[in-house]
Amino acid sequence: MAKYLTIIDILRDRSENLPEQIAYRFLPEVETDSVGLTYRQLETQVRAIAAYLQSIITPGERILVVYPYTAALEFIPSFFGCIYAGAIAVTSNPPLNEEAIVKLAQRVESSQAKAILTTESFLLHIQEKLGKNPDLAATLGHLPWIATDKISLSHASQWVEPKIYKDTLAFFQYTSGSTGKPKGVMVTHGNVLHNSQVIYQSFEHNADSRVVSWLPMFHDMGLVGGVVQPLYGGFPVILMSPMALIQKPIGWLEAISQYKATTSGGPNFAYDLVARQVKPKQLESLDLSSWSVAFSGAETVRAGTLARFAETFAPCGFRREAFYPCYGMAEATLFITGGAKTKPPVIKNVDADALTENRIVLGSGNSRAVVSCGWGWLGDKIAIVDPESHIPRGEGEVGEIWVAGAGVAQGYWNEPSETERTFNAFLGEQGHFLRTGDLGFLQDGELFITGRIKDVMILWGRYRYPQDIELTVEKCHPALRPSCGAAFSVEIEDDERLVIVHEVERSYWRQLNVEEVAIAIRQAVAVEHTAEVYAIALLKTGSIPKTTSGKIQRRTCRSQFLAGTLNILGQWRLQTEKGAVSELANNYSSQDESS
């Protein structure tokens, strides 16, 4: 693999040496045959798109790549077409409503994009939306929108190879925005190749590997893991729309079973979702014995979810050893740490009370299970550092996770001060590190994640991790949807107070007993966390703010709670000494909520 210096080198090699091998296969949401794309077909399309772009842009300019979820086999040639043209691809999720189009316009301005690539049908959809909003049309309408499915393959012969090196920028991937405004991470060809080699080795991929991916391709896990990694390894990938997972969760596992996939995965919520919704009858036709790398990342890996999934699907041949908890982020291209493929997840029970003081005490009665995310590979370094003093923490001590390695990106586009603060942290003789903003500890050489700095709360004089409280809440009453809640704090009367917002299962909407649910939440939080709940907002199904990659946006939840713009079915609020009104009302109207 060392012979590759750029992404172009890889695709050209695949096209020359594996021309008729299917590179990417897409499963439509309807019950029809899948559609495949060989390496030769792919590179022909890539060259045609690149040649067309070379006629209208100069190398180094940014091109926005915006495709509907069902257009995977159009997205991929366009993404690589930008790189073949010497341009910088800027991937973005498909805007399905006006709010999303506003965000698209912001991304255009942030990246200073010179053109936008999409399909002809999606272009018509966007033009219709812009026609109803002159302000957005002014921002997006001046750019050339290019329907790549209308570019003739005859352009392929006109492609001129650009001058590209290891340090040349390949694409921007915007951060998820789970803790702030999205920022464009600048990823080079060298970053991608190093990270691809790390994934290839840690997952023990080979020519016989086979991937199934439903992950959104415009973000790091779906793009680097689901699109670039199969190309790098020279093995096929079966792609699905992210919406297919939501509409029919079992379809993910059916695809793994049908295509004998060896690698597939996603955030914790996906495993939880399919384990909860699978029917006994559906288990009978599944064969998951080929699945050897079931990676879990992007959000907290929960030991309970791993156990429930493994138990549910053991009759289908799924092995607990297949679970592969890992840790990564856009700022490091994708992958930061992972463990040994053949070993089961390492889980440690730590004292929950000691953890609130950033201490690790193993084997306590009042414990919290934390899952190891492995270690760094190929020379990548992990350090645990006090986020205030920048003094390294010892083994078993909680601190901020700092990362160094060839996969760490170049910084944030047009954000020099934020780049300096995040990417250029200095640790004595060890050199410069990326500050992740995540909290964790090292034990026996393995990394354990405990939370995020910005999300940690101080309640009753002790540190509290929101994900711990959220897990407690979702288990306390059947009306609450798993993995669809947020815990955060607000300042009330010069004190930090706990707020819970959580989605309600649709079947409970009509007869929702807000008081009963509120009592269950308050009791559970008091017993397990010795904390008092100030306010509870019960939300409509599907309305809690999430990033495009499925992470709960706690800061957005907090802002919308204070602004009174959450989609609330019912709420409860503590009556304070200064007379704040306690509300126990169904059909709560958001305009009545004070901020």
Clarify whether residues 27 and 170 are in a common domain.
yes
Clarify whether residues 375 and 524 are in a common domain.
no
Nearest to 235 by CA among 256, 204, 205: 205
- Whether the Cβ atoms of residue 42 and residue 36 lie closer than 8 Å to each other: no
Would you state the pLDDT for residue 493? Answer: 64
Would you state the pLDDT for residue 460? Answer: 64
569, part of any domain: yes
β-pair type (35-38, 335-338): unpaired
Which of the listed residues 203, 220, 247 is the one where a domain comes to its end?
247
Residue 575 belongs to domain with CATH number: 3.30.300.30
Q: 195 CB contacts (<8 Å, ≥6 apart)?
A: 224, 332, 333, 334, 335, 407
Print the domain residue range for 178: 7-247
- Whether the Cβ atoms of residue 63 and residue 115 lie closer than 8 Å to each other: yes
CB atoms within 10 A of CB 124: 12
Distance CA 448, CA 75 (A): 35
125, part of any domain: yes
Three-state secondary structure call for residue 529: helix
306, part of any domain: no
CB atoms within 10 A of CB 151: 21
Q: 46 CB contacts (<8 Å, ≥6 apart)?
A: 11, 77, 80, 81, 84
337, part of any domain: no
Would you state the pLDDT for residue 53? Answer: 97
CB atoms within 10 A of CB 75: 28
The stretches of 385-441 forming alpha helices (DSSP H) are: 416-423
Clarify whether residues 437 and 538 are in a common domain.
no
Clarify whether residues 448 and 461 are in a common domain.
no
Clarify whether residues 410 and 478 are in a common domain.
no
Clarify whether residues 177 and 145 are in a common domain.
yes
Clarify whether residues 392 and 436 are in a common domain.
yes
- Whether the Cβ atoms of residue 568 and residue 537 lie closer than 8 Å to each other: yes
515, part of any domain: yes
Clarify whether residues 126 and 188 are in a common domain.
yes
Distance CA 313, CA 214 (A): 19
**DSSP for residue 61:** -
Tokens representing residue 83 in the block = 């790189």
Q: What is the 3-state secondary structure (H, E, C) of 237-291?
A: EEEECHHHHHHCCHHHHHHHHHHCCCEEEECHHHHHHHHHHCCHHHHCCCCCCCC
Would you state the pLDDT for residue 286? Answer: 96
Per-residue pLDDT of the chain (595 residues), as tens digits, is: 558 999 999 999 999 999 999 999 999 876 656 789 999 999 999 999 999 999 999 999 999 999 998 999 999 999 999 999 999 999 988 887 777 788 888 888 899 999 999 999 999 888 887 877 787 777 787 889 999 999 999 999 999 999 999 999 999 998 765 555 678 999 999 999 999 999 999 999 999 999 999 998 988 999 999 999 999 999 999 999 988 887 889 999 999 999 999 999 998 888 988 998 899 999 999 999 999 999 998 877 889 889 999 999 999 999 999 999 999 999 999 999 999 999 999 999 998 778 777 788 887 667 888 999 999 999 999 999 999 899 999 998 999 999 999 999 999 999 999 999 999 999 988 889 999 999 999 999 999 998 888 777 877 656 687 888 998 999 999 999 998 999 998 877 656 789 999 999 999 988 899 999 999 999 898 888 878 899 999 999 989 998 766 778 888 898 899 989 999 999 999 875 443 333 322 322 222 222 2
Amino acid at the residue 176: S
Clarify whether residues 435 and 557 are in a common domain.
no
Clarify whether residues 162 and 54 are in a common domain.
yes
**DSSP for residue 457:** E
313, part of any domain: no
| Distance from chain centroid for Cα 473 | 23
Nearest to 164 by CA among 80, 235, 277, 55: 80
CB atoms within 10 A of CB 450: 23
Phi then psi dihedrals of residue 153, to 5 deg: -65, -15
Q: Structural domain tally of the chain?
A: 3
Distance CA 158, CA 152 (A): 11
Would you state the pLDDT for residue 177? Answer: 56
For 353, the enclosing helix (H) or strand (E) is: helix 352-355
pLDDT digits (tens, 9 = 90+) for 513-566: 999 999 999 989 888 887 889 999 999 998 999 876 677 888 889 889 998 999
37, part of any domain: yes
Would you state the pLDDT for residue 137? Answer: 78
Distance CA 171, CA 548 (A): 18
Would you state the pLDDT for residue 581? Answer: 31
Residue 225 belongs to domain with CATH number: 3.40.50.12780
Three-state secondary structure call for residue 514: helix
Amino acid at the residue 133: N
Which of the listed residues 217, 247, 277 is the one where a domain comes to its end?
247
Strand order in the sheet with 495-504: 480-492, 495-504, 533-539, 568-573, 584-586
Does the CA dihedral 470-471-476-482 come out positive or negative? Answer: positive
Would you state the pLDDT for residue 588? Answer: 26
pLDDT digits (tens, 9 = 90+) for 271-300: 988 998 899 999 999 999 999 999 998 877
β-pair type (367-371, 347-351): antiparallel
Tokens representing residue 582 in the block = 């306690």
Distance CA 354, CA 333 (A): 33
| Distance from chain centroid for Cα 304 | 20
Global model pTM greater than 0.75: yes
Sort residue 234 into left (φ over 0), alpha (ψ -120 to 50) or beta: left
Q: How far separated are the first and last CA of the chain, in Å rounded?
A: 57
Residue 403 belongs to domain with CATH number: 2.30.38.10
Phi then psi dihedrals of residue 224, to 5 deg: -75, -40
Clarify whether residues 392 and 525 are in a common domain.
no
Clarify whether residues 107 and 229 are in a common domain.
yes
321, part of any domain: no
Which of the listed residues 205, 224, 247 is the one where a domain comes to its end?
247
Would you state the pLDDT for residue 500? Answer: 97
Amino acid at the residue 75: F
For 231, the enclosing helix (H) or strand (E) is: helix 229-233
For 48, the enclosing helix (H) or strand (E) is: helix 39-54
